Amino acid sequence: MPVRQNLITAALMLGLVIVTFLLNQSALSGNWRFDDGWLLDYASRFSPFDYFFDPAITRGYSLNNLTPTNPLIFDLNLWLFGFEPQGFYIQHLATLAGCAIATYLLLRCWVSPLFAFIGGALFLVGAPTQFVAQQLMVGHYVSGLLFSLLAIYTFQLNLSKSHWFLTLLSTLFYVIATTCKEVYFPLPFVLLLLPGQSLSVRLKLALPMLIWSVAYMFWRLAVLGSFVGGYDAGSQAFSISKAVQSYASIPELLFVTPYLAWFLSLIFIALMVNLARQKRLNTPLMIVALLAVMLPLLPLTQHPGITEANRYLLLPWWLFTVTLIIALANTQILKLSLKAAILLLFTASAGVQAWQAQQAMQPRLNQFDAVYEFFLQPPPGGIYYSREIKDAYYLDTVLNGARYAQARVSGETGEKLPLFMDSRNLRSIDSEQKSIWRYDKDCQCVLNISERIKSGKKPKPKAPKVLPVAISPPYPPLFEAAPGSISMSMPSEQRLQIHGHSVHPADDLEHEIILITPLQPKQIKSNLSAEKSESADVYRFTLTLDYADRNSRDLAAKQSCLLIRSAYSPIRLLTNPQASACNDLLSAKP
């Protein structure tokens, strides 16, 4: 009998691997996408010791989040597969399959193998799971979930065996999960409510995790300067109605059509009520798990918003899947045929919604695939033009970041590919020596548009535009120092002024001053004046930033940084003696 059970277990686990790769096979032909270029640049530039133990370099990844395992994933994949995205996607999908297998093993602690398998498969079918499968940059969410599930599973085994090795394993898995993403931090408080032993035994087994959770908070404080953090909603006041509306929209993001989504929600609630009436529901565990998963979404309801079933809903979707399977398996008043019909309805609705979400996302994926390919294999003299002026910093950072990483991995010297955002400047390009390319949505490819551009005189240099960028995302890499200077003053309780001058190459175009700030100000005013110079374009500037309160102003004074960008030159950082966090972003200290 044990041999047969082992064969069945192996077959079901293999089935989950097959389902993972079948549902997401299109990812295997994907190129680099979204923030991948910047992550490749960062991972190829530094060692794991650097971004785990050097606070300056850790902050260079993000000033708001402590997630050093994400660049580690890219680092390991570069070592294993080189600069080939297909190998990255294989690892990514293998980790996702590992999550499904770990879900199956965990569910087997409370339900039959068949129900456990259906739980793992339903998790894979969901829109959040298929969404993250197409994005390498969110691999830390997937890895964090995998190690969290392994921590729960080994802790559950330890409740019956009380062995030091299982205690060590569960703690190690939890430590890795927290370095992947902060959303997995509350896990020990959920484990304390698992059934099987007295509270004192559970507390004893979870004690190493709790000790690490305290150490983690102080590690975060030492690196980022705060115990908590995340995305910034700027000067917006917290809106309760916005939060309620965002939470209420989650079922519609997970299941097809609003009416069916709410009908399925009512079925789920009815199952939970029935278990509670039968006194078979661990209410404290359910409440704490729900709070641990849903509360971290609260800041996201304000900014950037919960508008699609993306990485933010991966953990909520997993919790819903597991809870549904346990509730159905333990509801005795329903016949097996009715349970099968309910599961089929949930799976079909989630699958159709995932397919629709995938179709909506595909144009973005196609664009990233094509543009990354162009930047990594451009024609001689190729120049890229994009009309998305507000995304100049982001595009320059991720696309040319991929070029720098590719050169670093191959042992060559990386050069920036010229990136133009203003069509008026294209007339100055010599079409006989250079070619101008742009992404075309109709053919979903990068086309040569040189013949459409009329040649003309080089435009006169214009004063730099001021482009405000939230600190996260995209994350600030480490830069070379730019010629110029900065000083700061605080003329009032809520006002910060940044004075200085910037020097831009005279033969370059599209000068920009990029303000990277941890908090979006309520208002930005800029005053720029040109100085005469034959060899460069020099501008003196004063930026006036108005914040909601003094604390926001003080934080901005410590962490706001100024970059200069142009079409041909790499992005560089203006050094600021009053903001050490900015100088930490320099590749070489002044």
Tell me which of 101 and 394 has the higher pLDDT: 101
Instruction: Judge whether residue 590 has pLDDT over 50.
Output: no
pLDDT tens by residue, 496-513: 999 988 887 777 888 888
pLDDT tens by residue, 195-236: 888 899 999 999 999 999 999 999 999 988 887 766 654 556
Of 136, 26, 210, 145, which is closest to residue 405 (Cα–Cα)?
136
Looking at every residue in the chain, the average pLDDT score rounds to 88
What is the pLDDT, as a whole number, of residue 536?
Answer: 66
What is the pLDDT, as a whole number, of residue 12?
Answer: 95
Q: Over pLDDT 90: what percentage of the chain? A: 57
Edge-first strand order for the sheet with 465-470 is: 465-470, 512-517, 561-565, 572-574, 480-482
Distance CA 326, CA 532 (A): 74
Distance CA 77, CA 92 (A): 10
Q: Is 90 exposed, middle or buried (0-12, 13-18, 19+ CB in 10 A)?
A: middle
pLDDT tens by residue, 254-268: 998 888 999 999 999
Distance CA 402, CA 375 (A): 8
What is the pLDDT, as a whole number, of residue 415?
Answer: 87
C-alpha separations of 241 from 247, 301, 416 in Å: 10, 10, 45
Angle subtended at Cα 92 by Cα 87 and Cα 95, rounded to the nearest 5 degrees: 130
Bridge-based pairing of strands 512-517 and 523-531 is unpaired
Would you give the DSSP letter of residue 423? G
What is the pLDDT, as a whole number, of residue 303?
Answer: 73
What is the pLDDT, as a whole number, of residue 213?
Answer: 96
User: Per residue in 412-437, is it b (16+ CB within 10 Å) or e — as a string?
Assistant: eebebbbbbbbeebbeebeeeeebbb
DSSP 301-338: HHTT---SSSGGGHHHHHHHHHHHHHHHHT-TTS-HHH
What is the pLDDT, as a whole number, of residue 305?
Answer: 79
Sign of CA dihedral 227, 233, 235, 240: negative
Largest CA distance in the chain: 88
Three-state DSSP at 540 gives: strand
Amino acid at 39: L
Which element (helix H / strand E) includes 489?
Answer: strand 484-492
Q: How many residues does the chain have?
A: 590
Query: pLDDT category, 332, cuts 50, 70, 90?
Result: confident
Q: What angle do helix axes 36-45 and 392-410 make, rounded to 10 degrees?
A: 40
* CB neighbours of residue 338 within 10 Å: 12
Tell me which of 579 and 176 has the higher pLDDT: 176
Amino acid at 293: V
Q: Is the N-terminal amide bond of 186 cis, ω within 30° of 0?
A: no
* Both structure tokens of 138: 């969110």
Instruction: Judge whether residue 40 has pLDDT over 50.
Output: yes
Distance CA 393, CA 566 (A): 10
Contact 122, 343 (CB under 8 A): yes
DSSP 200-242: HHHHHHHHHHHHHHHHHHHHHHHHHSSS------TTPPP-HHH
Distance CA 300, CA 312 (A): 8
pLDDT tens by residue, 546-587: 988 888 888 888 878 888 888 888 888 888 877 777 777 776
Contact 136, 177 (CB under 8 A): no
Amino acid at 291: L
Query: Which residues make Cβ contacts (< 8 Å) with residue 317, sequence separation at least 6?
Result: 123, 126, 127, 128, 129, 254, 309
Query: pLDDT category, 469, cuts 50, 70, 90?
Result: low
Contact 286, 323 (CB under 8 A): yes
pLDDT tens by residue, 239-258: 888 889 889 999 999 998 88
What is the pLDDT, as a whole number, of residue 453?
Answer: 79
Which of the residue ranges 124-128, 256-260, 456-460 has the most confident prediction, judged by mean pLDDT? Answer: 124-128
Which element (helix H / strand E) includes 436?
Answer: strand 435-440
Instruction: Judge whether residue 462 has pLDDT over 80.
Output: no
* Both structure tokens of 285: 């565990």
pLDDT tens by residue, 355-372: 999 999 999 999 999 999
- Exposure on the CB side of residue 364, measured as CA atoms within 13 A: 11
First CA to last CA distance, the chain: 70
What is the pLDDT, as a whole number, of residue 473?
Answer: 44
Distance CA 147, CA 155 (A): 12
Query: pLDDT category, 458, cuts 50, 70, 90?
Result: low
* Both structure tokens of 569: 């030159």
Instruction: Judge whether residue 171 has pLDDT over 90.
Output: yes
Share in percent of the chain as helix, strand, coil (round to 5): 60, 15, 30
> Would you state the torsion angle of the CA atoms of residues 349, 354, 359, 361, taken in this order, to the nearest 10 degrees?
140
Q: Give the lowest-confidence range in 117-126, 227-236, 532-541.
A: 227-236
Angle subtended at Cα 323 by Cα 320 and Cα 327, rounded to the nearest 5 degrees: 135
What is the pLDDT, as a whole number, of residue 532?
Answer: 60
Instruction: Judge whether residue 349 has pLDDT over 70.
Output: yes
Q: Is the N-terminal amide bond of 473 cis, ω within 30° of 0?
A: yes
pLDDT tens by residue, 303-323: 777 889 999 999 999 999 999
Which of the residue ranges 12-26, 276-290, 301-315, 571-585 has the most confident prediction, judged by mean pLDDT? Answer: 12-26
Instruction: Judge whether residue 287 has pLDDT over 90.
Output: yes
Query: pLDDT category, 116, cuts 50, 70, 90?
Result: very high
Of 567, 516, 515, 575, which is closest to residue 537 (Cα–Cα)?
567
Start-end of CATH 2.60.40.10 domains in the chain: 465-583
Question: Hunting for tokens 């600190």 — which residue is that?
Answer: 471
Distance CA 75, CA 73 (A): 5
Instruction: Judge whether residue 21 has pLDDT over 70.
Output: yes
pLDDT tens by residue, 54-85: 888 888 788 778 999 999 999 999 999 999 99
Query: Domain 465-583 has what CATH class?
Result: mainly beta
Instruction: Judge whether residue 327 has pLDDT over 90.
Output: yes
- Average of per-residue pLDDT across 449-456: 77
Three-state DSSP at 544 gives: strand
